[in-house]
Amino acid sequence: MRQLYIGGTWTASASDEPIEVVNPATEEIVDRVPAGTPDDVEAAAAAARRAFPEWSRTTAADRGKLLDEAAGLLKQRSEEIARTIATDMGAPLGFALKVQTLMPATVLASYARLAESHPRESRVGNSLVVKEPIGVVAAITPWNYPLHQIVCKVAPALAAGCTVVLKPSEVAPLAAYALAEIFHEVGLPPGVFNLVSGRGPVVGEAMAAHPEVDMVSFTGSTAAGRRVAALAAESVKRVALELGGKSANVILPDADLALAVKVGVANCFVNAGQTCSAWSRMLVQVDQYDEAVRLAVEAARSYRVGDPFDETTKIGPLVSEAQRERVVRYINRGQEEGARLVAGGTERPHERGYYVEPTVFAAVEPGMTIEQEEIFGPVLSLIPYTTEDKAVEIANDTKYGLAGAVWAGTEERGLAVARRLRTGQVSVNGGRFNPLAPFGGYKQSGVGRELGEHGLEEYLEVKSLQL
């Protein structure tokens, strides 16, 4: 069984209980990590608190140098780490390399630069306004992007001068261990980065409530985010939350319908649909609706479901049996409420592994469960609309506001509709994801932003010095 990383050393947990890490494609146990305890959190928080004063005083150039070296090692080991991610969470190997590993390396390198270039002082009249690291940060991360979500928190926190206690998801924790090894090798000072594996209700809650933690940054479900925020409120610590989504892909009548549907299906099914920002609702004008359904079904049937290490695989398994059961329940619920299943379904495509066929629903009406709730699987709902105003109304009519898309005949029209969507980011005519732009949500999709300068600002306090 692996160990915890606390105070710059690998150390045994206070508990000898293991958590089994399962390969979702084969259902075989591939590793074991400790089921950490509140005592482990206590030790990690104490180590982070001891390390904070000296780390916060290091120069931005020195912090940036260490982060840059870590980014370099991450790139060097990208193929190995991608294989690890393909094994413990099921992402197809090519995706695990490009998106799950090399993109986090890019983000880490960006914070190596921002550590030094981001301004920390400004003058406002007779005041000098300075920005200082907030302190000890608890980072609680999910399994769907097991390295990217860690880097989105840890990199800006370290760049800001904070120290970190990380709890990765116990479902897919192995990439976190690879990153801890990299930080150790580049010489990050003891206690600056700590890793405590374990379950959310035990380790995560202990971190969120700990009095020595100044900020908690959480990515996961909206329900769990509410619990984290409630625990953090007891000690009035800062909270950053990146939560669920039910994003709308609005296709206007003058758009390139075939392209919009093709890209929209791909976005919904990427990472087996286990993406909080997935465009899981496709909104199409009624006159084009039947053709859009036909195109979506055709696209869905081209997605091969299978072994993450097979080059022809487009969709790997869901991360666990529990996740598969959740998705199956939603597919059944969609049919029970009157939506029309036009592709996929609940049949297992393989005897072993937690697989679900890419699934498409037509005749989906606003208010249906599959139209309102985050499914977190390869399930697409097509919703007809009559007017542009109605499309905007449907797109905005969920409790979420994380992402979305607009397709239009002109960029000007696309931007006009995008501005009306109550969501944190919108792709216009296929605008690609930008890892330097702020990422985060409106409404119950979260609080705060990650990535780029906005992500760094989350970990800084503001002080006014009157002169």
Same domain, 267 and 166: no
Just list the catalytic residues: 242, 276
pTM exceeds 0.85, yes or no: yes
CATH of the domain at 228: 3.40.605.10
Same domain, 186 and 290: no
Same domain, 337 and 414: yes
Tally of CA atoms within 13 A in the half-sphere of 262 that contains its CB = 8
Same domain, 195 and 274: no
C-alpha 303/C-alpha 364 separation (Å) is 22
Domain count, the chain: 2
Same domain, 159 and 131: yes
Residue pair 196/208 in contact (Cβ under 8 Å)? The answer is: no
Same domain, 203 and 256: no
Task: Give Cβ neighbours of residue 419 (< 8 Å, ≥ 6 apart).
Answer: none
Look at strands 238-242 and 248-251 and give their pairing.
unpaired
Look at strands 9-11 and 4-6 and give their pairing.
antiparallel
Same domain, 193 and 259: no
Enclosing H/E stretch for 219: strand 215-219
Tokens read off for 184: 């150790």
Q: What angle do CA 241, 273, 289 make, to 5 degrees?
A: 110
Domain of residue 305, residue span? 248-435
Q: Where do the H-state alpha helices sit in 77-147?
A: 78-88, 93-97, 103-117
The H helix count followed by the E strand count for the chain is 16, 20
N- to C-terminal Cα distance for the chain?
Answer: 57
Same domain, 216 and 258: no
Same domain, 50 and 63: yes
| Alpha-carbon 57 to chain mean position | 30
Task: Give Cβ neighbours of residue 145 (< 8 Å, ≥ 6 apart).
Answer: 99, 100, 271, 275
- The partner residues of 9 in beta bridges, in order of sequence, read 6
pLDDT of residue 324: 98
Same domain, 421 and 452: no
Same domain, 40 and 97: yes
C-alpha 235/C-alpha 419 separation (Å) is 37
C-alpha 151/C-alpha 179 separation (Å) is 9
Look at strands 136-140 and 248-251 and give their pairing.
unpaired
- Give how far Cα 213 sits from Cα of 135, 139, 217, 233, 462, Å: 8, 10, 11, 12, 18
Same domain, 54 and 122: yes
pLDDT tens, N- to C-terminus, the chain (467 residues):
899 999 999 999 999 999 999 999 999 999 999 999 999 999 999 999 999 999 999 999 999 999 999 999 999 999 999 999 999 999 999 999 999 999 999 999 999 999 999 999 999 999 999 999 999 999 999 999 999 999 999 999 999 999 999 999 999 999 999 999 999 999 999 999 999 999 999 999 999 999 999 999 999 999 999 999 999 999 999 999 999 999 999 999 999 999 999 999 999 999 999 999 999 999 999 999 999 999 999 999 999 999 999 999 999 999 999 999 999 999 999 999 999 999 999 999 999 999 999 999 999 999 999 999 999 999 999 999 999 999 999 999 999 999 999 999 999 999 999 999 999 999 999 999 999 999 999 999 999 999 999 999 999 999 999 99
CATH of the domain at 264: 3.40.309.10
pLDDT of residue 1: 87
The phi and psi torsions of 125 (rounded to 5 degrees) equal 60, -125
